[in-house]
Amino acid sequence: MSDDLLIHPAAEGDEGEYQAGRHGHGHIKSFVRRAGRMSEAQQRHFAEMMPKIGIPYQPTAIDLDAVYGRNAPKILEIGCGMGETTAKIADANPQNDYFGLEVHVPGVGALCKLIAEKELTNLRIGHHDAVEVVRDMLPEASLAGIHIFFPDPWHKARHNKRRLVQPPFVALLASRLKPGAYLHCATDWENYALQMLDVLGREPSLENSVANPSTVELALALAADSSAGLAGFAPRPDYRPLTKFENRGLRLGHGVWDLIFKKR
Ligand SMILES: C[S@@+](CC[C@H](N)C(=O)[O-])C[C@H]1O[C@@H](n2cnc3c(N)ncnc32)[C@H](O)[C@@H]1O
């Protein structure tokens, strides 16, 4: 495999640093670069597909309709992983255009393979930090929806600061949504679900699609009582397919929480 397709662990000191943003949206990296090897098929599809369907990072705003060659709703997904859900959603919704972001190179290779196999024309990939892509490339009020499915939970307290769903990034995401557009997060970590509920609920330009509980304690009590809607969590919408991992978790009695907020 050629060396440029292998991401090496970042140089010491590169992780966890505050990155000053162009418009004041600084952030701590929500991921750690892992050395990742692609299978031969992933590598071949990466090399063939990325020049065609990749959207390279640039530090200036892009015209999304021009990129996709049509005027259709644009939906961003942050952290596609291996891309199964991303490809399924794009395949089932040809009326929308999807932009998947993923930093882990085998995931990008796997999604390239799915795009080639399913011959999807409405799904493009960005192989770059989502915070920088949203901050620098996406115009205000340009998106019909944003998906953040099972973001890294960073469950140790000292790592919580790396979680993607934090107030400054949520404010930035909200600014990229059109009025009435949605932000959909899902997680299987109760503690992160409650953080999401708290952070999304505090963003003034967003409104919960289901009734908001008055306190996080009430949300927790209601969620434990499986009154998910009352607790501020949404039922899983049909467009989000159940993953194998999630299915197994649900069978073992683990919870999954969906949060769907609308831009005012
Ligand atoms: C736990 S995985 C979930 C993947 C997928 N959404 C799923 O449901 O299976 C989270 C993914 O988000 C990616 N990720 C984390 N921070 C990111 C960022 N700032 N920009 C792009 N991708 C990111 C990680 O590389 C990882 O693949």
pLDDT at 260: 97
With contact defined as beta carbons under 8 Å apart, do 48 and 116 qualify?
Answer: yes
| 7 domain-assigned | no
| 213 domain-assigned | yes
Record the pTM: 0.88
In whole angstroms, give the CA distance from residue 29 to residue 151: 13
CATH code for position 136: 3.40.50.150
pLDDT at 1: 35
In whole angstroms, give the CA distance from residue 12 to residue 154: 20
158 CA distance to ligand 1 centroid (A)? 19
Question: Does ligand 1 have an atom closer than 6 angstroms to the CB of 102?
Answer: yes
With contact defined as beta carbons under 8 Å apart, do 259 and 185 qualify?
Answer: yes
| 233 domain-assigned | yes
| 31 domain-assigned | no
Question: Does ligand 1 have an atom closer than 6 angstroms to the CB of 125?
Answer: no
Q: Which residue has the tokens 């953080």?
A: 195
In whole angstroms, give the CA distance from residue 57 to residue 125: 10
Cα dihedral value 113, 114, 115, 117, nearest 10: 90
Residue nearest to atom 14 of ligand 1 (CA): 79
228 CA distance to ligand 1 centroid (A)? 25
Cα dihedral value 136, 130, 173, 79, nearest 10: 160
Q: Which atom of ligand 1 is nearest to the CA of 129?
A: 20
pLDDT at 229: 59
250: containing domain? 41-263
Report the residue among 104, 148, 170, 184 best suited for mutation to probe ligand 1: largest number of ligand atoms under 8 A from its CB. 104
| 30 domain-assigned | no
| Amino acid type, 11 | A
Question: Does ligand 1 have an atom closer than 6 angstroms to the CB of 153?
Answer: no
Q: Helix 167-176 and helix 130-137: axis angle, to 10°? A: 40
In whole angstroms, give the CA distance from residue 245 to residue 111: 18
Successive 10-residue mean pLDDT values, the chain, 264 residues: 34 35 62 83 96 98 98 98 97 98 96 98 98 98 98 92 95 98 95 93 95 70 62 92 87 90 98
| 8 domain-assigned | no
| 34 domain-assigned | no
Active site residues: 152
In whole angstroms, give the CA distance from residue 137 to residue 208: 27
| 167 domain-assigned | yes
| Cβ-based burial of 17 (10 A; exposed 0-12, middle 13-18, buried ≥19) | exposed
With contact defined as beta carbons under 8 Å apart, do 134 and 107 qualify?
Answer: no
With contact defined as beta carbons under 8 Å apart, do 183 and 149 qualify?
Answer: no
Question: Does ligand 1 have an atom closer than 6 angstroms to the CB of 104?
Answer: yes
Tell me how many domains the chain contains: 1
pLDDT at 214: 65
In whole angstroms, give the CA distance from residue 71 to residue 73: 7
pLDDT at 227: 55
